[in-house]
Amino acid sequence: MSAPLQHVTVLLNEAVDALAVRPDGVYVDATFGRGGHSRAILAQLGERGRLIAFDRDPMAVAASEALADARFTLVHEAFSSLAEELDALGVAQVDGVLMDIGVSSPQLDDPSRGMSFRFDAPLDMRMDTTRGESVSQWLARATVAEITTVVRDYGEERFAYAIAKAIDAARAGSPIATTGQLAALVAATVRTREPGQHPATRTFQALRIFINRELEELSLTLPQAVSKLATGGRLVVIAFHSLEDRIVKRFMRDHSRPPALPRGLPIREVDRPRPALNLVGDAQRPSAEEVAANPRSRSAIMRVAERTDAAFVASEVR
């Protein structure tokens, strides 16, 4: 019998400290995973505190059953349903939202999930295996142009068109059904790559991000999180990919500035609308010690913002 898949929570203490947990507060862990952040938050909550966690991965939902705590609620949904689900639970405002976004170690290390080229397994990659289309199914119907766009835009892969053409040629003979097939195909197409990086790294990353709508989910959720935060509540986001962090950085930056007003409008500085967020500290990365102990943490970056009492007007997140 194999050992249970482990997940080392990144920036555990730093993220929970950034939430500034109040014993009687209400908090959201938007990415339960294996519960590292949730357990740390619960440890700081009193009897009247409450924690609502989200995860769309059935394995994470199953893992949450070990956390028998009356203060804890797990919602099996993507975090883009945050506002709707909180409303359904009768939660009007929360004191903090933590988002540890991206793929988890158990998802990468479980061959059956098809997220890694280290194993030859069904080419799935869905975070929620109970819903939606697998990568294999999508590759069977997508056009060369669509595959090129996904691999280029989500994987920042300069050989995207060549990879898409190779996929198109290969699937004419038989479906691309396994991770091994796709990894070998990409490796044969991409002749140069950064030292130490597998040729298929960017393609696998791109397809995973796309099939799970990871960037769209993040863009939908950030405004919901701020709209639910009480004055003084904290939004804490840990990203592992430059595309994710760019969305978070721009969102927090844009909403920590006063709303734009028409040029020439006669208004005193004291009467200018105030921003809905204040940035808290600088972006934080894992320590050298944490990276040495958990190399997967090396790309993590955490950003924190605090809700003001100013009105929040959601804008397009890019």
- Residue 53, helix vs strand vs coil: strand
Residue 297: CATH number of its domain = 3.40.50.150
- 224 φ, ψ (degrees, to nearest 5): -65, -40
Q: Are residues 201 and 219 in the same domain?
A: no
Q: Are residues 136 and 99 in the same domain?
A: no
Structurally, how many domains does the chain consist of? 2
| Domain final residue pick, 211, 240, 255 | 211
Q: Are residues 25 and 95 in the same domain?
A: yes
Angstrom distance (rounded) from CA 167 to CA 180? 13
Does residue 115 fall inside a structural domain? no
pLDDT (0 to 100) of residue 8 = 76
Name residue 32's amino acid.
F
| Domain final residue pick, 211, 244, 276 | 211
pLDDT (0 to 100) of residue 105 = 75
Under DSSP, the state recorded for 284 is B
Q: Are residues 91 and 77 in the same domain?
A: yes
Residue 146: CATH number of its domain = 1.10.150.170
Angstrom distance (rounded) from CA 305 to CA 225? 11
Q: Under 8 Å CB-to-CB from 55, ≥6 apart: which residues?
A: 31, 32, 33, 61, 64, 74, 75, 76
Q: Are residues 77 and 34 in the same domain?
A: yes
What are the C-alpha distances in Å from 130 to residues 10, 30, 123, 158? 27, 19, 15, 33
Angstrom distance (rounded) from CA 253 to CA 128? 31
Q: Are residues 141 and 21 in the same domain?
A: no
pLDDT (0 to 100) of residue 4 = 41
Q: Are residues 92 and 233 in the same domain?
A: yes
pLDDT (0 to 100) of residue 115 = 82
Binding residue numbers for S-adenosyl-L-methionine = 35-37, 55, 79, 100, 107
Q: Which region holds residue 50: left if phi is over 0, alpha if psi is between -120 and 50, else beta? A: beta
Angstrom distance (rounded) from CA 274 to CA 79? 28
Binding residue numbers = 35-37, 55, 79, 100, 107
Q: Are residues 203 and 221 in the same domain?
A: no
pLDDT (0 to 100) of residue 5 = 44
Q: What is the pTM of this model?
A: 0.90
Long-range contacts of 158-165 (CB under 8 A, 24+ apart): 159/189, 159/190, 162/189, 162/190, 163/189, 163/190, 163/203
pLDDT along the chain (318 residues), means of 10: 57 96 98 93 97 94 90 96 97 98 79 84 93 96 98 95 98 94 95 82 95 96 98 97 95 88 62 86 94 90 97 72
Q: Are residues 252 and 302 in the same domain?
A: yes
What are the C-alpha distances in Å from 284 to residues 95, 156, 278, 305? 21, 24, 16, 12
pLDDT (0 to 100) of residue 70 = 95
CB 159 within 8 A of CB 138: no
Domain range for residue 189? 129-211
